[in-house]
Structure 1
Amino acid sequence: MKIALAGIGKIARDQHVPAIAGSSDWDLGATVSRSGSVEGVPSFTSLAEMFEAHPEVEVVSLCMPPKPRFDYAAEVIRAGRHVMLEKPPGATLSECHILRDMAAAAGVSIYATWHSRQAAQVAAAKAWLAERALRHVTVIWKEDVRRWHPGQDWVFEAGGLGVFDPGINGLSILTEILPDPVHLRSAELLVPENRQAPIAARLAFHHTGGAQISAEFDWRQEGEELWTIEVETEDGAIRLSEGGASLHIDGKEVAQVDGAANDGEYPQLYSQMAMLVREGRSEMDLRPLALVADAFLLGERRVVAPFEF
């Protein structure tokens, strides 16, 4: 199937382009970007121009930041094409609900992707936790924003999510592996005095079974970066680390099982999108974004030192 990429930045070049190139489901037919392009692929500055020149394009994968994404996604749906959304699926929950309803009315597929759920050991962790009672869950997501978003001031603007840009990856795994739903009870947001979005956050969740669940996100990490989820149950404990790539059960490392999980996170997303299109279905899980929205609603804001790239 022919697919187009809209928004040719770092994430598109690092992840989306290689995933499409290695897929037997997709052929990259065009790109849409104000400044970027992919060698050997027709490039355009607007969706309208691209659709006119390449009516064979069936799907558009949107890789731009969340704030402008709604207008692009709505245009794709109105053109009768399927749409794939990089995480987070939008700048607000309301616009995501509207896009979901638009896609259903138009009879096209829409897919809100969460790449961290495709990490190699997430499915194994979910299966292990399925029949166990939780006691404690701790999510730690600490990385260096200068490494992953060098000079990208938009991540600290209103709608840029700040530290929740990576933190939502941890929340996407949390909502996937826990056998019971959780909701936010309280949050503390640390916002640089010269920025609009938090550089760090601490969250506490409510669990119907009384488990203590918390998360800590920080974009100021120096040295070793941490992407871990530790879960203590009444029958043992697990530790997911490296963003879900590594799993320890009761301190013993679990070997990865051969299969799709070893293909990489983004190739799996594109395989899933192909299946959704062929089966005429959509997948729009908004739970991770809802938790982030609740953090902004409930969060106590604390001003911290200015931040500059």
Structure 2
Amino acid sequence: MALHQIGIIGLGKIAQDQHLPVIKANPDFQLLAVSSQRGLTHEDARYTFLDYRDLLKLPDIEAVSICTPPQVRHQIARDALVAGKSVLLEKPPAATLSELEDLKELAAKVGKVVFTTWHAQYNKAVDEAKKALAGWTIKRLLVTWKEDVRHWHPGQQWIWEAGGFGVFDPGINALSIVTRIMPEPVFIKSSSLEFPANRDAPIAANLAFSMSHGQGDLQAVFDWRQTGPQTWDIEVETEAGLTLKLTHGGSCLEIGGREVVKEDPAEYQAIYRRFDELLNARQSEVDTAPFRLVADAFMIGKRVQVDAFED
């Protein structure tokens, strides 16, 4: 198949850490242009723009990866689709479910691809966990997702603003794994959201889930205040006594206390392989399940004010 000429809109930490090196290493893609309001550039890009709309005027650009904060992503993705470009959306894919639905409908109308990328799903351990749990009734689920915001999001003030998702920016990774591996849908039963006194997005969250069948103990704890070793674990127990634990963000798997998968994460490599397949097939892939759980957590969440937090 022909080489995909691609542009990146937004050159923040995730674009620099993941998208740029992965695109460079993938023989199916060529980075043609980048756009950054801060004037950042990259040596592999032939063109650099301050205004993303100038990037979209390039006729050779087939697709764009949008790595901006979610609050502004909808309009950029809309403009890209109207300009005839397919779109890869970093997570979270938009600021609201309505925006994402609009992009899905517009992509179908103009015949372009929209791809929602839930990177934590792209691990062999996650696939194996899904297979192991298929057909079983879940008795217990415990998600523990605790990390240091100062380390992973230095200086990113947008993440604390309304629409920035706060602790759900990493927490949605855990939810994307949960929606992938659970043998039946889960729902938000209750939600307690801790907001620093000086912030408009939560720094911690405690969630309880329910299912259509059974009354299992299903919980999630997200916290952005953990220093030292970081915790990204998901523990599951079935009614039949099968125990399963995903660790290291979904890259390692234990079943019955035995290590089954232990791999270094290669999530973005898999994302771009999938994007190549979707572009060649001219097929969109829009998974709203993790996003819906976040929206529900905010919709029924109890707001708890905690101490002010400074970066």
Distance 2:188 2:44 in 1: 47
Instruction: Give the TM-score taking structure 2 as reference length.
Output: 0.95
Does residue 24 (structure 1) correspond to residue 43 (structure 2)? The answer is: no
Does residue 231 (structure 1) correspond to residue 233 (structure 2)? The answer is: no
Of 18, 40, 49, which aligns to 2:54?
49
Given that residues 125 and 247 in structure 1 are in contact (C-alpha distance below 8 angstroms), is that contact kept between their aligned partners in structure 2? yes
- Name 1:173's counterpart in structure 2: 177
Structure 1 residue 262: Cα displacement: 6.5
In structure 1, list runs of 5 or more residues that go unmatched. Answer: none
Given that residues 145 and 233 in structure 2 are in contact (C-alpha distance below 8 angstroms), is that contact kept between their aligned partners in structure 1? yes
Given that residues 132 and 235 in structure 1 are in contact (C-alpha distance below 8 angstroms), is that contact kept between their aligned partners in structure 2? no
Paired amino acid for 1:131: G
- Name 2:119's counterpart in structure 1: 115
Of 213, 222, 230, which aligns to 2:218?
213
Instruction: Give the TM-score taking structure 1 as reference length.
Output: 0.96
Given that residues 36 and 52 in structure 2 are in contact (C-alpha distance below 8 angstroms), is that contact kept between their aligned partners in structure 1? no
- Name 1:157's counterpart in structure 2: 161
Does residue 11 (structure 1) correspond to residue 14 (structure 2)? The answer is: yes
Secondary structure of the residue aligned to 1:197 is coil
Paired amino acid for 1:241: T
Paired amino acid for 1:75: D
Paired amino acid for 1:20: I
Secondary structure of the residue aligned to 1:2 is strand
Distance 1:243 1:287 in 2: 18
Identity %: 45
My pick for the range that moved more, 31-40 or 94-103, is 31-40
Structure 1 residue 152: Cα displacement: 1.3
Structure 1 residue 206: Cα displacement: 1.0
In structure 2, list runs of 5 or more residues that go unmatched. Answer: none
Q: Any idea what the Cα deviations from partners look like across 1:88-115, whole Å, max 9, x if unmatched?
A: 0000001000010000000101001000
Q: Any idea what the Cα deviations from partners look like across 1:131-179, whole Å, max 9, x if unmatched?
A: 2221001111000000001121111110000000000000000000111
Structure 1 residue 263: Cα displacement: 7.4
Distance 1:106 1:24 in 2: 27
- Name 2:86's counterpart in structure 1: 82
My pick for the range that moved more, 131-140 or 162-171, is 131-140
Structure 1 residue 51: Cα displacement: 3.3
Evaluate the alpha carbon distance shift between residue 207 and residue 69 of structure 1 in structure 2; reply closer, same or farther with a 3 A threshold.
same
Of 227, 233, 249, which aligns to 1:222?
227
Paired amino acid for 1:72: I
Of 138, 141, 157, which aligns to 2:142?
138
- Name 1:266's counterpart in structure 2: 268
Aligned residues: 304
Structure 1 residue 235: Cα displacement: 3.6
